[in-house]
Structure 1
């Protein structure tokens, strides 16, 4: 092995010397291969670069605060009805959110919390979800989210957070307000139940107002409320009664047909019946009654200030 190495060391220099011209030629070629000729700039093909664009412009927006609660201190002479009218909510809304079961429980100096609309004020408890609270009040969860500016759950619905649950017309599940003081002064004006001629007014011998109208004319709800009675009432014929949110109950007698059911929710102006001749009557008309705390009162106290025609005299029916 040592002899081979020595022989190679002697032979290689001799070979290098004898073929030097050839090696120079090969070396020159190798040097040129390491430095290729650069192409002219005109030979390049331009390739467009990819650009990523947002679908829409990014906008930083400040989330609006939910509607604020208001505080009211009862002044002398104020009632639940007058305060509710002042803030544009139903008496039931004031009573429900201030734990009042009777209109007589309001007294001067009493602090009241007033929501910005007919809504229940609810403080989130530990373990509650927005959907659970909404279901308790039969409210659409999306409506609760929109009203309270809830964007993320559960981050925006934590224990102690105050939520407003919209309850149109102030009909809170399981809640009924006792009306101990008649809302005669502060009551809103009612709609006439039908268009016609007033032929008989309220008097000690007549328990309501008679309005003569063509047979089959629509009878509408005088205000929003709940259907409290439907059926035949002796000489009054087929009747329908509505218990209105602010404490008054109105009844329409002598109808030819009733379009609503007991317990149904109605809005002001909704057709609930049609003028008829049922019961004891001398012509098609509506006998319109009003009660507060079960006591008959004059419907004209709550009727619109102006009427189309009032022609007193000529009884059209009974009672």
Structure 2
């Protein structure tokens, strides 16, 4: 009858030497669900080696990819948004800004810098999506406009990397004015003969799409990026019809002439350098 009784000897397991799996060692692709080592994923430029899904990355990562040796000088690093309307939704806008700065460790939803790409000077403005959804407020528009002004004054090509949910609602008309501001600076660059490259990544929507993101001398996109003004759900509800398969993906936009070509992240440097060789 020993099997009815619990034998306390030999069944206790010590947990003092149990090894916990450290966090951050593995990456699970949100598209194909394949798990890979984070180190390998980063070495592949944050692109899934199994399905080619391009993971969202911020300015810091793009600058490592594009600038020679990852070296650059940041422009206007200390500019921060304020709360001109004392906006309150679920929380104060000023509190949300403070939380984003602390969490993301950048001061705004865009980082601008000047450096070299294959030995050629270039200004790059790249958006940080995890800073309030990469939304465009007054400081985002001002930093991009100043980056373009720098390009004009120093005769340096300008590149923007868009990843945004659109205009920042907490700043109302202040944010919408940035669409006109950035578009006006692009017109000035064209008059001065300064090349402007726009790279659209996942997602690029709203007022960013309706302004500087689609006004490049050449508009390129990463594979599978969602690009549009309003989201697919809003469009479907507005027109009351089903949308075509792949609607608002970069592949759909390429087929319909909205962008010039699609480029994988590993080939961005080569493609941008080739374009600049052709125009400068």
TM-score, scaled relative to structure 1: 0.23
More strand by percentage: 1
More helix by percentage: 2
TM-score, scaled relative to structure 2: 0.25
